[in-house]
Structure 1
Amino acid sequence: MKYRTDIDGLRALAVVAVILFHLGFLPNGYLGVDVFFVISGYLITSIVYGRSEKGKFSIIDFYERRIRRIIPLLLVVSTIAFLLGLVYMLPDDLENLCQSVVASNVSANNILMYLTSADYWAVKNDYKPLMHTWSLGIEEQFYLVYPFLFYVLSGPRLKYIKHVLIALTAVSLIAFLLQDSVAATFYFIQYRFFELAIGGLGAILFSKVVIERYQQGRMLLYGLLAALALILFLPIVPTNELRVLLTTMITVGILIVGKQYFEGDRLYAALMANPVAAFIGSISFSLYMWHQLIFAFARYAFLEEITPGWAVALTGLTLVMSVITYYGIENPFRDRKVMSTRTVLLFTGGLFLLSTGSAFYVYTIGGIVKDYPQLALYRDQLPDQRNFLSGSDNIHISYNENVWDLDRDFTAGTDRIKTLVVGNSFGRDATNLMLESSMSDSLEVRYAEWKELRERPEMKARLLAADRIILAAQTYIDRDYLTSLEEAHDITIDRDKVWMLGTKDFGYSNGIHYNRTDGGTDFQNYRTAMKGDVLSINEQLREEWGDRYIDLIALLANDEGRILVFTPDGKFISQDTVHLTRSGARYLAQRLEDRFAEIFRG
């Protein structure tokens, strides 16, 4: 198959869009991945179908080419991410990175992202160096199925391949349109199959089509290019589903029509095959693999915000690293004259075992590879058990999760003040505040989830027995919640025994604070900005609950809305910028002593 220089230009457009998206400058730039999917399906099918027509298709050869093309660079990047994580990351974040290293290496990071970061657009994903390898998981899972279709339908049965692909594409597209979960349609191969397969169908069905009206074909091609640029760079399409569908169809249209014009049309060649576009397109895989790693570690360890100046600098570093790996890894490993199959397998197999095994081990110890005094975590105090599935015994969430033991009825006949805390994980934080306070010996604290308090019949007795009820807010909760409890259990709740403990937030990532501070830092004045609409939620709660509101942010934030990160002795108040550490709970409980005395002794 003749080399399509214009496809390098299409790759360049796609990878630039993705890079701008991850810098935070192009909201629709993520659609560049959809462009890559269609290109991949088109090129792979062109090769496989052509070989199958000649009776020369080999599954072994197919997988060797895929291994040479993808795996060496993937393993190098995931290994470097792991090594940087050992230096710069706090243990919980390192543990999460180790999960991503293992998942990326086994072509399953799309599944991990669905389980742990379902919202692809969430800010926390900006701090994940390997979050972008979800797309490689999609492609590699596609490759596990796709070649066997051609193997089964080889020889005289090859004429049925287009019918099978049309049927599978239709099933995938219908599933995509009917699935309500945005996360599922984003991360799972069954909802992405149609994008790659449509590229493949374009290669098969239109391989010999000739556009007889040359000028009209040119206009169509330019129109498709303009439409793709508009979708990528302007917010003109209202929904993600429509954006994906239009991007897919326009991209395959460009691939089909552009085949006739990439050599003879000067304007098209100038746009899509100029030296700059061709070079960026040729190194697009390296650019894609490096950019998120560099941006994520920059955000995590050095930069509170990627300004335009820093964006240029980081993109320049991405370009340098991409050139190095393009010439030092991609090209040598793809060339059978340079790298024998044995050498490729030894390198990839060895690095796979080393990086996957090391990352898995660090994951099992919760990422605690050294002492972290800021979190009161020390190597010689590691628990004996190993972390495998991040359950409630995970060392980083166990302090919060242990509160589940208090989801039980009050003790009959006790003289302690019966205190029922209601909430979610924020409620469990509130419970720990009570337990860490100087009044804990005079309290009998019990815990209940928001929803379960209304739905479980036995909660009625708990509500009636409670001397104090503490509601713990993460988002806005109005007083109608109490009315819903009364209606659910046919009771009347004494409003004088109910308080609302407010929301809290400690910024976007602890990583930058960990890497920026040392023992000489003025921890009593070291602050960070809070996320999103936390301040407005806090204000709404304060207005709704009045003197029944316990305002945590007022205790910790200054007039500019910047909140404390550390206790006075340099311990993180929050382990994950949302939930409290034991040190943070003790510090806050101390700051709340007078308020607690008013609530429990008043």
Structure 2
Amino acid sequence: MNRLPNLDPLRFFLASIVLLFHLPQLSHNQGLPSFDGLPIYHRGVEAVYMFFILSGFLIIRLIYRAKIRGVFSIKDFYIRRVLRIFPLYYLVLIFGLFFYNVILPFANIPFDINYTWKEAFFYNVFFLPNVFAQKFEPGGIIEVLWSIGIEEQFYLVIAPLLFFINVKWVLRVLIGLMIGYFIIYWSDAFEFLRKYIFVFFYLFFGGIIAILEENKKLEFLKRTVIFPILICSFTLLYFITDWLQIEPLWARSMLTCLLFGFFIHTLAFNNRGVALKSSIFNHLGSISYGIYMYHVIVLNAVVFLFLKVDFLQNLNETLTIILMHLLIFVGTILIAHISYTYFELYFLKLKNKFRK
């Protein structure tokens, strides 16, 4: 399957926004100079939500196209997902547990551990890192895994569901699930869904957009240049201003579903031939999973340097903030590149054995 245009660079930009979200938080918590005076520094959660829509868009599109050809295999689907997600997920999980339970005590750095190893194993191995993160606040390196858990839970449901549904009913079922789950999620009776951030409606909506496109139901959007301009403009405004931060939260969720879903569709299918073909940005998109997973580790390392190295402690606030941004971005990209090239790529190549 050919890669859709613009989506790899989008992954990099979204991962970068998550990094910008966490950077000032950790700096401030450790008493270091920090800057979060621009709205984009507060859009990390929304960036993850767009990741969810993108994931639902791509995964359901893949399953739907395979069903049409009569070659969809649940086994092969899960093997490909395992090869893509698990190696890096468990590497970061093991390092995070070692970091907070062994390295920090050895370095006499206080950090409260309020969970047992059995609890850590249960929640994180059985696809519930989002629950683990909210219940125990185990530290940023581990807490960042919450979003991977949401995707894992979604995969467990969506593959068998779509396997048994007739292809003619897939769109209707997804629309019903999306609307029904959205109502349940925001009802007071199911508050625990919000507590543990089970935001599956974003993934469902991404899939709905993908199937509408596959069935040529969105062609009317391509007849005028106004729609893609408006969608891209409002999405940009959402991330760089506070104008679209509407209340209540359920209305904001509905807005982000629609806005982000149609934004992804615009980039991939309604871009009027505008495609970011930079090999650098495409590669950065390819390693975006690593950027997302490693950035908190790099954040902790850089913060530690600024706390312990005399030369860095004597810098003025502005230079400290600028240098921290540079070191964290460059360090995260470098580690993600090395991980992708010498670790993840081995497993990614194995995925080709399970494609039809």
With normalisation by structure 2, the TM-score equals: 0.80
CA distance in structure 1 between the partners assigned to 2:23 and 2:121 by the alignment: 22
**Residue 123 of structure 2 aligns to a residue in which SS?**
helix
Post-superposition CA distance 1:458-489 (Å, at most 9, x none): xxxxxxxxxxxxxxxxxxxxxxxxxxxxxxxx
CA distance in structure 1 between the partners assigned to 2:42 and 2:116 by the alignment: 25
Residue in structure 2 matching 1:288, options 284, 287, 292:
292
**Residue 345 of structure 2 aligns to a residue in which SS?**
helix
Counterpart contact for 1:294–1:314, Cα < 8 Å: yes
Report the equivalent of 1:93. Answer: 112
Post-superposition CA distance 1:317-372 (Å, at most 9, x none): 1111100111122222011289x89xxxxxxxxxxxxxxxxxxxxxxxxxxxxxxx
Post-superposition CA distance 1:170-208 (Å, at most 9, x none): 11111233248877425243xx12110010111112214
- Tell me how many residue pairs correspond in the alignment: 321
Residue in structure 2 matching 1:233, options 240, 244, 255:
240
Report the equivalent of 1:500. Answer: none
| Residue type of the alignment partner of 1:196 | L
**Residue 320 of structure 1 aligns to a residue in which SS?**
helix
State percent identity of aligned pairs: 26
Counterpart contact for 1:17–1:30, Cα < 8 Å: no
Report the equivalent of 1:66. Answer: 81
> Do the aligned partners of residues 316 and 180 (structure 1) sit closer, same or farther apart at CA in structure 2, a change above 3 Å counting?
farther
1:316 aligned onto 2:323: no
> Do the aligned partners of residues 160 and 104 (structure 1) sit closer, same or farther apart at CA in structure 2, a change above 3 Å counting?
same
> Do the aligned partners of residues 200 and 114 (structure 1) sit closer, same or farther apart at CA in structure 2, a change above 3 Å counting?
same
Q: CA deviation at 1:241?
A: 3.8
Report the equivalent of 1:108. Answer: 128
CA distance in structure 2 between the partners assigned to 1:103 and 1:61 by the alignment: 25
Q: CA deviation at 1:105?
A: 3.5
1:148 aligned onto 2:160: yes
> Do the aligned partners of residues 102 and 303 (structure 1) sit closer, same or farther apart at CA in structure 2, a change above 3 Å counting?
farther
Report the equivalent of 2:21. Answer: 21
CA distance in structure 1 between the partners assigned to 2:20 and 2:336 by the alignment: 16
Give the greater-gyration-radius structure (CA).
Answer: 1
Counterpart contact for 1:68–1:333, Cα < 8 Å: yes
Report the equivalent of 1:336. Answer: 350
Counterpart contact for 1:18–1:30, Cα < 8 Å: yes
Report the equivalent of 2:205. Answer: 198
Counterpart contact for 1:110–1:138, Cα < 8 Å: yes
| Residue type of the alignment partner of 1:16 | S
Counterpart contact for 2:104–2:110, Cα < 8 Å: no
Report the equivalent of 1:185. Answer: 194
| Residue type of the alignment partner of 1:106 | F
| Residue type of the alignment partner of 1:136 | I
Report the equivalent of 1:383. Answer: none
Post-superposition CA distance 1:289-340 (Å, at most 9, x none): 00123224555786499833212212221111100111122222011289x8
Residue in structure 1 matching 2:258, options 249, 257, 272:
249
Residue in structure 1 matching 2:181, options 172, 175, 178:
172
Counterpart contact for 1:9–1:278, Cα < 8 Å: yes
CA distance in structure 1 between the partners assigned to 2:59 and 2:172 by the alignment: 18
Determine which structure has greater relative contact order: mean sequence separation of CA pairs < 8 Å that are 6+ residues apart, divided by chain length.
2
Report the equivalent of 2:7. Answer: 7
CA distance in structure 2 between the partners assigned to 1:255 and 1:43 by the alignment: 10
Residue in structure 1 matching 2:71, options 40, 50, 56:
56
| Residue type of the alignment partner of 1:258 | L
CA distance in structure 2 between the partners assigned to 1:331 and 1:222 by the alignment: 36
Q: Which deviates more, 207-216 or 329-338?
A: 207-216
| Residue type of the alignment partner of 1:142 | F
Report the equivalent of 2:62. Answer: 47
CA distance in structure 2 between the partners assigned to 1:300 and 1:67 by the alignment: 33
Counterpart contact for 1:110–1:137, Cα < 8 Å: yes
| Residue type of the alignment partner of 2:298 | I
For structure 1, the residue ranges without an aligned partner over 5 or more in a row are 118-124, 342-602
| Residue type of the alignment partner of 1:23 | L
Give the structure with the larger helix fraction.
2
CA distance in structure 2 between the partners assigned to 1:328 and 1:110 by the alignment: 29
Report the equivalent of 1:511. Answer: none
Q: Which deviates more, 200-209 or 172-181?
A: 172-181
CA distance in structure 2 between the partners assigned to 1:42 and 1:214 by the alignment: 19
Residue in structure 1 matching 2:268, options 256, 259, 264:
259
CA distance in structure 1 between the partners assigned to 2:279 and 2:70 by the alignment: 37
With normalisation by structure 1, the TM-score equals: 0.49
Q: CA deviation at 1:116?
A: 3.1
Q: CA deviation at 1:29?
A: 2.4
> Do the aligned partners of residues 38 and 148 (structure 1) sit closer, same or farther apart at CA in structure 2, a change above 3 Å counting?
same
Q: How does 1:421-570 map to 2 (within 5 A)?
A: none
Residue in structure 2 matching 1:277, options 273, 276, 281:
281
> Do the aligned partners of residues 186 and 225 (structure 1) sit closer, same or farther apart at CA in structure 2, a change above 3 Å counting?
farther
Q: CA deviation at 1:261?
A: 4.1
CA distance in structure 1 between the partners assigned to 2:238 and 2:221 by the alignment: 27
> Do the aligned partners of residues 193 and 102 (structure 1) sit closer, same or farther apart at CA in structure 2, a change above 3 Å counting?
same
**Residue 221 of structure 1 aligns to a residue in which SS?**
helix
> Do the aligned partners of residues 335 and 160 (structure 1) sit closer, same or farther apart at CA in structure 2, a change above 3 Å counting?
same
Report the equivalent of 1:222. Answer: 229
> Do the aligned partners of residues 47 and 101 (structure 1) sit closer, same or farther apart at CA in structure 2, a change above 3 Å counting?
same
| Residue type of the alignment partner of 1:332 | Y
**Residue 45 of structure 2 aligns to a residue in which SS?**
helix
Counterpart contact for 1:59–1:151, Cα < 8 Å: yes
Counterpart contact for 2:294–2:336, Cα < 8 Å: yes
- Compute the RMSD of aligned alpha carbons: 3.0
| Residue type of the alignment partner of 1:79 | I
